[in-house]
Amino acid sequence: MQARTMTTIQPQPTRHPILLLPGHWLGGWVWGEVAARLTELGHEVEPLTLPGLESADAAREAVTFADHVDYVATRIGSLGGRVVLVAHSGAGAVATAVADRMPGALARIVYVDSGPVGDGTVPRPELTAEDAELPFPGLDALAAHGVSVEGLGDDHRAELTARAVPHPAGACRQPVTLTDPHRHEVPTTVVCCSIPGSVMQELVASGEPMFAPLRELTDLTVRELPTGHWPMLSRPAELAELIGAEADRDDERDARPLSVHVP
């Protein structure tokens, strides 16, 4: 019998596209500086604007949470390969649902001052069926409720106030339905901005319900970028470099040598 030899195949590293999801009231515009820096670093990047958030006049009364998930899933599917999905704030629920639907399509999720949600979570339970939209309450009102505005200059505050639009109520008053445990296996990075990473890890360990979904993840990395809740405005270059570094970890993983037997 002829002996078989072993050869090593060195795959060429391929950078996964990076999709950027904005939080409530915002469009892809909020990622502008981050996207520009990621592009300079050699990444393919696309900021997304979810349905109903295109403009102040956009039709949003009939938009549902499923519409947001469908939109992101369709965009990922059109790219024909795995992606790095970055979610800010309230978009964490959308990213979690996308991971539940298509875990194999995600090289990594990066939650920016955000995190995964659990099955049955209602993002904004105070909203009723009569509510068509969730108006932007203003930065002062958000700050009064504990949302950090650290790092935002006058220009940032003016831009957020001018460009924020009402969020579709139907996209955040419905329970999030999750059925596939493989979502827990998607490599995940949480970027802590408003609170230190050590505090977040203490909350996870203590069993705090809001942080319980993090306990189920099999591959979790915690990074810190101290600033307020909108790091894409207050520290865009640093956030871009952090996202790029996390994405590159998965590019390198996919490019590991493969040893195969050759007859």
What is the rounded average pLDDT of the residues 229-251?
Answer: 95
Bridge partners (DSSP) of residue 84 are 18, 108
Assess whether pLDDT exceeds 50 at residue 164: yes
The pairs formed by 53-59 with CB atoms below 8 angstroms and a separation of 24 or more are: 53/22, 53/25, 53/26, 53/27, 53/165, 53/167, 53/168, 54/27, 55/165, 56/165, 56/166, 58/165
Which has the minimum average pLDDT: 240-244, 245-249, 259-263?
259-263
pLDDT at 4 over 80: no
- Round the average pLDDT of the chain to a whole number and report it: 92
Mean pLDDT of 52-68: 97
**Strand pairing of 83-88 and 45-47?**
unpaired
pLDDT at residue 261 in the model: 39
What integer pLDDT is reported at residue 172 of this predicted model? 96
Residues 121-128, mean pLDDT to the nearest whole number:
95
Q: Binning pLDDT at 50, 70 and 90, where does residue 253 land?
A: low
With beta carbons less than 8 A apart as the criterion, state whether 172 and 68 touch.
no
Q: Please determine, for residue 260, whether its predicted confidence score (pLDDT) is greater than 50.
A: no
Q: What is the pLDDT of residue 112?
A: 99
Domains recognised in the chain with CATH numbers: 15-190+199-237 (3.40.50.1820)
Mean pLDDT of 72-81: 96
